[in-house]
């Protein structure tokens, strides 16, 4: 492993506490005995800080001292030379070693103050340096410190060499990311650490516990199976304890078998690795995968290099395979047992799980845990799943005087085999018309998808289907997009103001000072003419005045040159005229504002008078209704007499009974006139402008929400008789609405997503295909919909060993 660390001056901001030092020390302490490791720092120049040599105790002690020199003083960021120096001029792969470069930077390629020089150097790295490193068998695991780094570039060089890319948002993220980089190289064996306890079996020759600590937390303590306490200050022989303010790294050689315990902060990043002759080997999980790509995970146990196939040994194993995505969803299943609980005994000792639908975009953590009753083992591996394998950009060309737009498609290096790709696109026009367009290779050697204007002007959408072989040699299919291609006509004439016409309008405008005694028809808040022109034209007042010249043009600089050349002797006089005109306009503005203010005051006074009149009318109405309550009460008569009078008067019957339509001839009369307290408050009335047109009490009552009191009478023998007053039922009061529970109080009580036995969830599915030619894109979309419907109908909550993408294979199926 070669570690290349940026020490440019910008690191003072992105890593103010210089956490690169403890992170580098952790990486050095995790290095395997016998492996090779070196450290380089770079800025404008490149320095070998720690020689690239085999790891042993003397080398480690020197390396820990040397990394204390890491600082942030360099001027530039010479990434290209740093990669070349770290390669040690090795140009051919070595089958005995896996070559990895861990690159940490917070910036971009920066070798000169001239940006063109920097761009040429960046292109040189991509075109020359990276291909040489790839040919020599190097993988680059790049770490971008903060978003200020050239993340696209750092990701690209990692993908092109088959490495991995990570983003450290802050320097605090460096240590976990450096541990991941170490794990990808060393692939350490682990034992499960649960509730700060772990089991060590007799085959373990050495274990190393990595325990993270929070600032200010108590010192870490380690307890042996017989409950003896071990600390950094009180440790017996055979125990190495590296103590840092942020972590403890404890290595115990020839540990006693049994249950060990750690007293420290609980952290999901704490872990225990072991050196043993009884190992678990996991295959088939690359660092990068493509969404839609299928892969098969294979694992087995071996002892001293030989695969264990003894059925008696395999029968007692309990093997759990789990996957957790970056959203926190966890899927788990049993490799060692089938759905009925019967043990699986593979003849060759290999357990497998096929992965497909759960391989969604993002980072995934896969874990395999083995419980052998007398021993436990654990393997972890992180995989990045990529959804897009193409970089897509829009371009256009001229075809016989018409603009033709197209999409330029470039395969992402390190993800797919560019020689085995088939690309086709479905185009959807603005009116819904669809067309299928194959991608073609243009003169520059890039894929190109032409988007013609077959459905008229507007916005077109392009879905791109890609089929081919991944960089790892597995087939895949996926859909990218949609991408928009805009053929909307642009009306520039409506957007550009006619400044010549605007200047002429201003020149012809008469400056009129209104007489304040005259009634004004203008709005009291009308904007002065000068302000209106400024808003419309978006120019300074001097520019508008100058525009009154007959030579007014759009380019003011050009106009100024012509004006000064044509009238050189009138410059001073022109400036005086401009100043005078500006002063006149300012005075006019003040007069207009003053006149508007007087008009506004008159209007307000008029509204105040109308409001006082309205309040007086309301008071009279209240008095009137009080009198009505006393006078308008109907005379109480015996029921029999009222019934008799009703029978004698046919007119009364016609009034009191509803007509054939079921509606009364007149509105019903309330039992009594509303009390004064029932009237609305003055503040609740409509605005004054809405009431100023009311002239009589009837309209005023309507505004107040009251219907006039109606007394039905019948004229018999020229005598007025008071009819029975029918009371309208009072409206039902609004019922108090239930108070909804605050959304913040909501708690999800559902159980976490965890599948029984060997069940795992799939999110995508494609049938295996032999050729990568593609027909209509809609066929594939319909195929997906049919599969989804089939899954819904046939979902039994478990896995189907025959059909499921992400399933655990039974012995003999691999």
316-348 tens-digit pLDDT? 999 999 999 988 888 889 999 988 889 999 999
**The 3-state secondary structure of 14-57, one letter per residue:** HCCCCCHHHHHHHHHHHCCCCCEEEEEEECCCEEEEEEEEECCH
**pLDDT given for residue 22 in this prediction:** 92
Architecture of the domain whose range is 187-276: Sandwich (2.60)
Residue 458 pLDDT level (bands cut at 50, 70, 90): very high
CA angle 308, 312, 317 (to 5 degrees): 70
pLDDT digits (tens, 9 = 90+) for 8-21: 999 999 999 999 99
In the block, residue with structure tokens 């979902």: 795
Mean pLDDT, residues 795-802 taken together: 37
How does residue 314 score in pLDDT terms, banded at 50, 70 and 90?
A: very high
- Map tokens 């840092």 to a residue: 244
The tokens for 71 are 């600082």
> Can you tell me the distance from the alpha carbon of 719 to that of 539, in angstroms, rounded to the nearest whole number?
82
Q: For residues 254 and 251, what is the distance between their CA atoms, to the nearest angstrom?
A: 10
Confidence at residue 172, expressed as pLDDT on a 0 to 100 scale: 86
List the structure tokens of 34: 């016998």
Which of 45-49, 173-177, 407-411, 771-775 shows the lowest mean pLDDT across its residues? Answer: 771-775
Q: What is the CATH number of domain 390-486?
A: 2.60.40.1470
Summarised one tens digit per residue, pLDDT across range 607-627 is 666 666 666 666 665 565 455
Which residue from 208, 228, 199, 220 is spatially nearest to 265, judged by alpha carbons?
Answer: 220
Residues 352, 297: Cα–Cα separation, whole Å? 5
pLDDT at 746: 32
Distance CA 190, CA 316 (A): 20
User: Could you check whether 187-276 and 390-486 share the same CATH topology?
Assistant: yes
3-state secondary structure (DSSP) of residue 579 = helix
- Please say if the pLDDT value at position 200 is more than 90: yes
| Section 353-375 average pLDDT | 91
Long-range residue pairs from 55-60, CB within 8 A, at least 24 positions apart, any chain: 55/31, 60/28, 60/29, 60/31
Give the torsion sign (CA, 649, 655, 657, 659): positive
Query: H/E element holding 230?
Result: strand 229-230
CA distance 39 to 48: 6
Please give the Cα distance from 352 to 397 (Å, whole number): 52
Residue predicted with more confidence, 513 or 394: 394
Euclidean distance between CA atoms 167 and 149, whole angstroms = 9
In contact, 1 and 37? CB cutoff 8 Å: yes
pTM: 0.58
> Among residues 89, 101, 99, 90, which one has the least CA distance to residue 42?
101
Going by C-alpha positions, the residue among 78, 156, 145, 75 that lies closest to residue 117 is: 78
> Residue 715 forms beta bridges with which residues?
720
Q: For residues 9 and 18, what is the distance between their CA atoms, to the nearest angstrom?
A: 12
φ, ψ (nearest 5 deg) of residue 256: -70, 135
Angle, CA of 350, 355 and 361, to the nearest 5°: 145
Question: Per-residue pLDDT averaged across 97-104, rounded?
Answer: 93
Residue 235 has pLDDT above 70, yes or no: yes
Q: What residues are paired with 720 via a beta bridge?
A: 715
Please state the rounded mean pLDDT for residues 752-773: 38
- Name every residue whose Cβ is closer than 8 Å to that of residue 260 and which is 6 or more positions away in sequence: 197, 198, 199, 200, 222, 223, 224, 225
pLDDT bracket for residue 81 (50, 70, 90): very high
Dihedral sign for Cα 219, 224, 230, 235, please. Answer: negative
Is the pLDDT at 690 greater than 70? The verdict is no
Spatial separation of the C-alpha atoms in residues 439 and 777, rounded to whole Å: 13
State the SS3 of 716-780. ECCEEEECCCCCCCCCCCCCCCCCCCCHHHCCCCCCCCCCCCCCCCCCCCCCCCCCCCCCCHHHH
> Above pLDDT 70, what percent of the chain?
61
The domain ranges of the chain are 2-186, 187-276, 390-486, 508-537+571-627+672-709
Distance CA 302, CA 96 (A): 21
CA-wise closest residue to 289 among 756, 812, 806: 806
Q: What pLDDT does 575 receive? A: 53
Per-range mean pLDDT, top range of 215-219, 299-303, 695-699, 750-754: 299-303
Instruction: Say whether pLDDT at 284 is over 70.
Output: yes
Q: Which CATH architecture has domain 2-186?
A: 3-Layer(aba) Sandwich (3.40)
Query: What does the pLDDT average to over 207-223?
Result: 91
What is the pLDDT, as a whole number, of residue 719?
Answer: 41
User: Do residues 757 and 798 make contact, with C-beta atoms less than 8 angstroms apart?
Assistant: yes
Which of 601 and 728 is assigned the larger pLDDT? 601
What torsion do the CA atoms of 138, 140, 141, 146 make, to the nearest 10 degrees?
A: 170
* Best CA proximity match to 290, nearest among 483, 478, 481, 480: 478
Mean pLDDT, rounded, for 391-410:
88
Element (H, E) at 298: strand 295-303
**What's phi and psi for 296, nearest 5 deg?**
-125, 120
């Amino acid at each position: 492993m070669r570690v290349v660390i940026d020490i440019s001056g910008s690191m003072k901001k992105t890593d103010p506490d210089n956490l690169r030092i403890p992170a580098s020390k952790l990486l050095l302490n995790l290095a395997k005995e016998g492996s090779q490791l070196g450290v380089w720092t770079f800025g404008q120049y490149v320095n070998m800080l720690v020689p690239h040599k085999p790891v042993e105790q003397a080398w480690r002690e020197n390396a820990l001292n040397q990394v204390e020199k890491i600082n942030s003083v360099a001027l530039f960021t010479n990434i290209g030379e740093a990669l070349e120096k770290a390669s040690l001029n090795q140009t051919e792969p070595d089958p005995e070693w896996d070559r990895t470069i861990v690159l940490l930077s917070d910036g971009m390629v920066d070798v000169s103050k001239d940006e063109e020089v920097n761009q040429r150097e960046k292109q040189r790295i991509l075109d020359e340096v990276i291909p040489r490193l790839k040919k020599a068998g190097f993988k680059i695991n790049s770490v971008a410190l903060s978003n200020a780094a050239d993340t696209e570039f750092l990701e690209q060089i990692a993908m092109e060499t088959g490495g991995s890319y990570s983003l450290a948002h802050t320097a605090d993220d460096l240590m976990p990311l450096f541990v991941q980089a170490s794990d990808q190289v060393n692939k350490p064996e682990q034992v499960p650490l649960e509730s700060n306890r772990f089991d060590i079996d007799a085959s373990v020759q050495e274990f190393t516990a990595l325990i993270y600590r929070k600032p200010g937390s108590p010192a870490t303590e380690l307890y042996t199976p017989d409950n003896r306490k071990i600390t950094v200050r009180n440790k017996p022989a055979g125990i190495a304890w590296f103590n840092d303010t942020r972590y403890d790294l404890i290595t115990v050689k020839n540990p006693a078998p049994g249950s060990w315990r750690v007293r420290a902060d609980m952290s999901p990043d704490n872990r225990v690795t072991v050196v043993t002759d009884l190992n678990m080997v996991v295959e088939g999980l690359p660092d990068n995968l493509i969404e839609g790509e299928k892969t098969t995970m294979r694992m087995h146990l071996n002892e001293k290099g030989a695969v264990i196939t003894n059925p008696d040994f395999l029968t007692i194993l309990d093997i759990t395979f789990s996957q957790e995505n970056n959203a926190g969803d966890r899927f788990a299943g049993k490799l060692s047992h089938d759905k009925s609980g019967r043990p699986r005994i593979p003849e060759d000792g290999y357990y497998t799980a096929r992965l497909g639908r759960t391989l969604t975009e993002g980072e995934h953590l896969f874990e395999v845990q083995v419980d052998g009753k007398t021993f436990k083992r654990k393997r972890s591996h992180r995989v990045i799943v990529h959804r897009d394998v193409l970089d897509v950009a829009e371009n256009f060309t001229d075809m016989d005087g018409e603009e033709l737009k197209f999409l330029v498609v470039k395969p992402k290096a390190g993800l797919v085999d560019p020689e085995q790709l088939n690309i086709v696109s479905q185009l959807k026009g603005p009116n819904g018309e669809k067309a299928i367009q194959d991608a073609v290779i243009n003169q520059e050697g890039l894929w190109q998808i032409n988007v013609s204007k077959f459905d008229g002007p507007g916005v077109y959408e392009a879905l791109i289907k890609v089929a081919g072989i991944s960089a790892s040699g597995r087939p895949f299919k996926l859909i990218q997009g949609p991408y928009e291609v805009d053929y909307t006509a642009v009306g520039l004439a409506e957007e550009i103001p006619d400044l010549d016409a605007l200047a002429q309008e201003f020149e012809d405008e008469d400056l009129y000072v209104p007489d304040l005694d005259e009634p004004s028809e203008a709005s009291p808040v009308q904007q002065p003419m000068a302000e209106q022109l400024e808003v419309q034209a978006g120019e300074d007042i001097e520019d508008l005045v100058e525009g009154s010249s007959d030579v007014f043009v759009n380019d003011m600089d050009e106009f100024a040159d012509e004006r000064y050349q044509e009238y050189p002797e009138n410059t001073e006089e022109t400036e005086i005229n401009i100043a005078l005109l500006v002063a006149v306009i300012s005075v006019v503005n003040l007069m207009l504002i003053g006149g508007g203010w007087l008009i506004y005051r008159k209007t307000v006074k008029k509204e105040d008078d109308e409001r006082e009149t309205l309040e007086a009318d309301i008071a009279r109405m209240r008095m009137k209704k009080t009198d009505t309550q006393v006078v308008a009460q109907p005379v109480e008569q015996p029921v029999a007499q009222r019934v008799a009078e009703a029978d004698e008067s046919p007119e009364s019957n016609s009034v009191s009974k509803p007509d054939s339509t079921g509606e009364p001839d007149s509105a019903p009369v309330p039992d009594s006139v509303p009390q004064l307290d029932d009237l609305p408050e003055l503040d609740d009335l409509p605005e004054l402008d809405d009431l100023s047109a009311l002239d009589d009490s009837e309209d005023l009552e309507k505004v107040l929400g009251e219907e006039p009191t109606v007394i039905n009478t019948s004229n018999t023998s020229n005598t007025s008789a008071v009819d029975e007053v029918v009371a309208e039922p009072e409206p039902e009061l609004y019922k108090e609405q239930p108070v909804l529970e605050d959304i913040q109080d909501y708690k999800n009580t559902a159980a976490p997503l965890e599948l029984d036995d060997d069940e795992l969830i799939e999110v995508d599915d494609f049938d295996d295909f032999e050729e990568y030619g593609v027909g209509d894109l809609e066929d594939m979309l319909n195929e997906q919909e049919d599969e989804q419907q089939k899954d819904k109908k046939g979902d039994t909550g478990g896995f189907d060993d025959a059909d499921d993408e992400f399933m655990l294979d039974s012995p003999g199926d691999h």
